[in-house]
Structure 1
Amino acid sequence: MAIIAGGTITVSQYVACMEKKDKYAHISSRISGASAKAGHMMRDQQFGTPDITEYTDAVIVGGGAAGLTAARHLHHSGFTNFRLLELEPHTGGNASSGSNQYSAYPLGAHYLPIPNTDNQPLLDLLAEAGILTGYDPNGLPIYNETDLCYDPEERLYIRNRWQEGLVPQLGISHQTQDEIRRFLELMEQLRKAKGSDNRYAFDIPVANSSNDALYRELDQLTMEEWLTQQHYHSEELRWYLDYCCRDDYGAGISTISAWAGIHYFASRKGKAANADSSQLLTWPQGNGRLVQHLQQFSRDKTQTGCVVYKITPETKQVLVDYYDINTHQIKRLVAKACIMATPQFITQRLIPGGQYDHAFVYSPWLVANITLDQIPESSGYQLCWDNVIYQGKSLGYVNAQQQRLTQQLPAKQVITYYLPLDHLDPVASRKYAIALSPQHWVKLIADDLEAVHPGITELMHDIDITVWGHGMIRPHKGFITGDVRAAAQKSPFANVFYAHSDLSGISIFEEAFYHGNKAAGALTDYCG
């Protein structure tokens, strides 16, 4: 017997208690992510008169994918007298990456689908970065083989075993098979469909999509409502579509509009000489690979740790006031023009008379990079790049080392675990996420993975947790075609330009890239 406060227990009970207590004690962990404290300084604090005034031709506020793209555009246009101000200690936004001694890994976005062949600016970027290596005689892009996702790509854990691919196959009825086939055939038709304006019904960037009412009216339904209208009732098909919406938008089919849900499938028209149209470009550091290329064009012009708290457009100049966290000084930049590469919930708080419209809803996310001895074997299909759990709370995990160039297994393995925080409304989910300690996240993550990999907790050593309070814009019903998004497209000031993926209503690299180029082009035209 063992004596404890308040009574006695058996030795076996004591051992069981200690094992339960210490189950996660060997796992080190920490939380990183967007600097909520610094961001709230902009929202809550009153700053005095700037102590230092400096001058430049242009200022870019925000160093995510859109801001870095804008900087690249300015650089290539010969417009070199600019500054880029970033709140975080580094640029990259939700396409940032990290690393440890075993692997680089993504802190957010982790892949880029084969681009549409008419998206020449994006193809040019990939060529510049050495990812696109040329074109075949038919004009199709040729991609670097090491940048294409290696086989095997995807698997799904369903009915106690892994299957190849993410569309459910194991144990499904003939009726479900028919529904899945019918849905995929319809998506293929819509991929080719054009509206009365001769634009593709669904395109990337979103701005190129058809304005035909036949397609725009899909935005007035949720994806779930549309599925019911179209007589898609299969549990497995609905789960798959819910997974897709949660993956790209941070919310499921009961929230996301049918237009956005269909766009996920019908907007992709990429082709390549050496890859299938459905193949992905990916790297150990995820889209950090693209960020690292973009950073070179503004590295000597970038200031991190800058809390921009006020933008004052005047007739011939813009005043950009900010607090420098590194020097504890209040500063002002005077420029001819400014690019706001910031989400609307920030932009509208900075400009005069700005009013943030809560129709712009942002999905919170958690990304966890887990270092472990090995990924346990399990029944069914082999380990893939993307590993998804049927009806799971999370989106599963990505094998960060899938793209390694050597066949030799690393000393430790790193997997990237994705969890959209959509169990509550976005505001409540953000508060929930911020309140949790690293130890709570460790337990949640380990317990989730134990369902498909019994014993995996014992193999874990370290978890690098990233919480994105405003991870991505959420295209809820009515948002894509609504007046609020339309109004946000244009700045009310002649010398202030907007650039962020939330202006598209869809948070993917291609949209950030589009808006960054658009804003930089408008700025150079304005400045002459």
Structure 2
Amino acid sequence: MEVLIIGAGVAGLSAAWRLAGAGVKDVRVVELEDEPGGTSRSGKNAVSAFPWGAHYLPAPLTEQGAVLRLLREMGFVTGMDAGGYPVFPEELLIREPDERLFYRGSWYEGLYLRAGASAGDLAELARFEARMNAFAAARDAKGRKAFAVPTALSSDDAEWTALDAVSMAQWMEAEGFRSARLKWLVDYACRDDYGTTAEGVSAWAGIWYFAARQDGRGERSEGFLSWPEGNGRLVRQLLGALDPRRLERHVLVHTVEPGEDGCRVEALEAGTGKPRAFQARQVVFAGPRFVAAHVVAPWRQQRPAWMGAFSYGPWVVANLTLSSPPQSRGFPLAWDNVFYESRSLGYVAATHQMLRQDDAGPTVLTWYLPLAGLDVKAERERVLAAGYEDWERLVMADMLPAHPGIAGQAQRLEVMRWGHAMIRPAPGFMWGPARFAAQESLGRTLHFAHTDLGGMALFEEANWFGVRAAERVLGALGRPSTSWL
């Protein structure tokens, strides 16, 4: 065959989508799991579709790039505004109320706890926002944003990349940001996008969260795009470019041997143990580095020195079906509902984006817990040691203070454990040599795509590296075309 893609997460499906766009027909995708999509996969029950991981996409600011091309394919870009930014249908943008915060018995609007904030707290918040706006507006001599989406488009000037050497917590302290409320907000941001606390996140990555998706005027793009199934909707669109017969599930790849004329790939059928072998002119390995270390034959024989720099945090996601929306005190039910005094991130309401007449009907709440400790091995062991009953007790105990009657409304609880859910952008990782060394192809026949190559577990990163790998394949096949990046 011409092209074999190993892994049907967003990166692998993006590679297949790009190859389809170039007219390459002889493409096969193999996937170990029951369903494609990786951490963007979704589920569905009689009440609603719901996410099992990533649940939104920030509306892109620019008119260039592969993500916007995908949204145009879906009919989700209705035009451009006076500032040159894309315009999206109102029904796709998260409708109000979009965010609320639970603190000591009541819900409050937004994610910054303004209730009871002192003048000093608010002054620090204003100073922090001004700094983030300045970072967002910053450009280098080549006109590149200091902090861009995807990260590959960011400036590599030392003025900005030096921020990668310290943690976000250290940067906050050095800058005199000591308000407990502001520190909570920054810590929440790090847990939300990176799965760990500000102590474990590079200052460059922490600032990126607040600066990359705005233009320096304080506006974080047009908003967020979301669907009941979260980014599962984007997965479905990517899958549409692939002939269903070209996707094989339950295939466990155990060896990839690159050669001058192609790659030999050996695998097992996960259900039967039947051996499989593939020979492809070009291979895209669209899995994480910790798997590649055991599968790519040259790396299995001699582990690359950079491999140890990659660290992945575990998550637990639960979907709770209720007979009716949970009762709340204070600000009403929103799309994103966050608990201030919890290790979890709270939950999103899957039915928030559904256009239905009865908002009092049954709903599905998707609850997220990043295991945020710095010792990822210990955190992973905690995740695997707990059984369903343990997670059921934890989820319900976390919900109960905010929703005292929720146990009587609960109809079904499903739990997903993600052992290596997110690459962590630890200090020194984003602009250190390891991440860039890992992006290189092996010869002209084996290429790599995954969010871990971008240092952030985000749809935009997976899509960018999937498209880039596909364009390397096109070049190697002698079929170059105008880049989508």
TM-score (norm 2): 0.94
1:324 shift after superposition: 1.1
The residue that corresponds to 2:229 in the other structure is 285
Residue 184 (structure 1) aligned to one of 118, 129, 139: 129
2:231 maps to a residue whose letter is N
**In the alignment, which of 303, 313, 336 is matched to residue 386 of structure 1?**
336
Give the counterpart of 1:448 among 389, 398, 407.
398
Structure 1 residue aligned with 2:482? none
Of 115-124 and 82-91, the range deviating more from structure 2: 115-124
For 1:411 and 1:226, locate their aligned partners in 2 and report how far apart those are by CA, in whole Å: 46
CA distance in 2, matches of 1:363, 1:517: 25
What's 1:66 paired with? Answer: 11
Question: Which of 413, 425, 434 is matched with 1:463 structurally?
Answer: 413
Q: Which runs of 5+ in 1 are unaligned?
A: 1-55
Structure 2 residue aligned with 1:165, among 85, 110, 113?
A: 110
Q: Equivalent pairs: percent with the same residue?
A: 39
1:197 shift after superposition: 4.1
Question: How is 1:494-513 mapped onto 2 (pairs within 5 angstroms)?
Answer: 494-513=444-463
SS in 2 for 1:149: coil
Question: Who is 2:98 aligned against?
Answer: 153
User: Partner of 1:407 in structure 2?
Assistant: 357
Match of 1:485 among 435, 439, 442: 435
**1:87-135 Cα distance to aligned partner (Å, 9 max, x none):** 1011100000001000000000000001121433221110101222333
Instruction: Find the counterpart in structure 2 of residue 373 from structure 1.
Output: 323
Counterpart Cα distance in 2 of 1:322 and 1:291:
25
* CA distance 1:285–1:497, shift in 2 (3 Å): same
Distance in 2, matches of 1:518 and 1:232, equals 39
- Secondary structure of the 2:255 match is strand
SS of residue in 2 equivalent to 1:408: coil
- Tell whether 2:269 aligns with 1:337: no
2:376 aligns with: 426
Corresponding residue for residue 34 of structure 2? 89
Match of 1:285, as an amino acid? E
Cα deviation for residue 205 of structure 1 reads 1.1
- How many residue pairs are counted as aligned between the two chains? 470
The SS at the match of 2:4 is strand
What SS does structure 2 have at the residue aligned with 1:126?
A: helix
* More divergent stretch after superposition (136-145 vs 159-168): 136-145
Query: Any conservation in 1 of the 2:16–2:241 contact (CA below 8 Å)?
Result: yes
Once the two structures are TM-superposed, the CA of residue 391 in structure 1 deviates from its matched residue by 2.8
CA distance in 1 between counterparts of 2:222 and 2:101 reads 17
The residue identity in structure 1 corresponding to 2:390 is H
CA distance in 1, matches of 2:184, 2:361: 36
TM-score for the superposition, normalised by structure 1: 0.86
SS in structure 2 of the partner of residue 88 of structure 1: coil
Q: How many angstroms does 1:167 deviate by? A: 1.3
Match in the other structure for 1:40: none
Amino acid at match of 1:292: R
2:346 counterpart letter in structure 1 = G
In structure 1, the residue corresponding to 2:228 is in which secondary structure? Answer: coil
Quick one: distance in 1 between partners of 2:320 and 2:82? 44
What SS class does the counterpart of residue 102 from structure 1 fall into? coil
Distance 1:501 1:468 in 2: 15
Which residue matches 1:524?
474
| Contact 1:117–1:270, Cα closer than 8 Å, also in 2 | no
Tell whether the 8 Å contact from 2:42 to 2:49 is kept in structure 1 after alignment: yes
Deviations 1:467-499 (A, max 9, x none): 110101000111001111121110232210111
Residues of 2 paired with 1:183 and 1:278: CA distance? 21
Report the Cα distance in structure 2 between the residues aligned to 1:141 and 1:199, rounded to whole angstroms: 20
Identify if the C-alpha distance between structure 1 residues 270 and 521 changes in structure 2 by more than 3 Å, giving closer, same or farther. farther
Q: Distance in 2 between matches of 1:351 and 1:423?
A: 30
* 1:10-48 deviation line (CA, Å, top 9, x unaligned): xxxxxxxxxxxxxxxxxxxxxxxxxxxxxxxxxxxxxxx
Q: How big is the alpha-carbon RMSD for the aligned residues of Structure 1 and Structure 2? A: 1.7
Q: Give the distance between the partners of 2:104 and 2:223, measured in 1 at CA.
A: 27
| Partner SS state of residue 89, structure 1 | coil
Query: Is the 1:96–1:108 contact (alpha carbons within 8 Å) kept by the matching residues of 2?
Result: yes
Partner of residue 483, structure 2: none
Aligned equivalent of 1:4: none
Distance in 1, Cα, partners of 2:328 & 2:103? 12
Higher alpha-carbon deviation: 219-228 or 414-423: 414-423
The letter of the residue matching 2:310 is: F
Cα pair 2:190 2:206 within 8 Å, conserved: yes
Q: Is residue 318–residue 337 contact of structure 1 (8 Å, CA) maintained in 2?
A: yes
Q: Return the offset for 1:242.
A: 0.3
Q: What amino acid is the match of 1:166? A: L
**Partner SS for 2:473:** helix
Deviates more, 1:216-225 or 1:421-430: 421-430
Give the 5 Å matches for 1:28-427: 56-136=1-81, 139-269=84-214, 277-298=221-242, 299-354=244-299, 355=303, 357-409=307-359, 411-423=361-373, 425-427=375-377
Question: What amino acid does structure 2 have at the position aligned with 1:509?
Answer: F
Contact 2:344 2:368 (C-alpha < 8 Å) held by counterparts: yes
Asked whether the 8 Å contact 2:257–2:298 carries over to 1, the reply is no
* SS of aligned partner of 1:353: helix
Deviation at 1:455?
A: 2.5
CA contact (8 A) 1:318 1:334 kept: yes
In the TM superposition, what is the alpha-carbon distance from 1:145 to its structure 2 partner? 2.0
Q: Residue 239 of structure 1 contacts residue 391 of structure 1 at CA under 8 Å; is this kept in 2?
A: no
**CA distance, structure 2, for counterparts of residue 162 and residue 280 of structure 1:** 22
Distance 2:40 2:15 in 1: 16
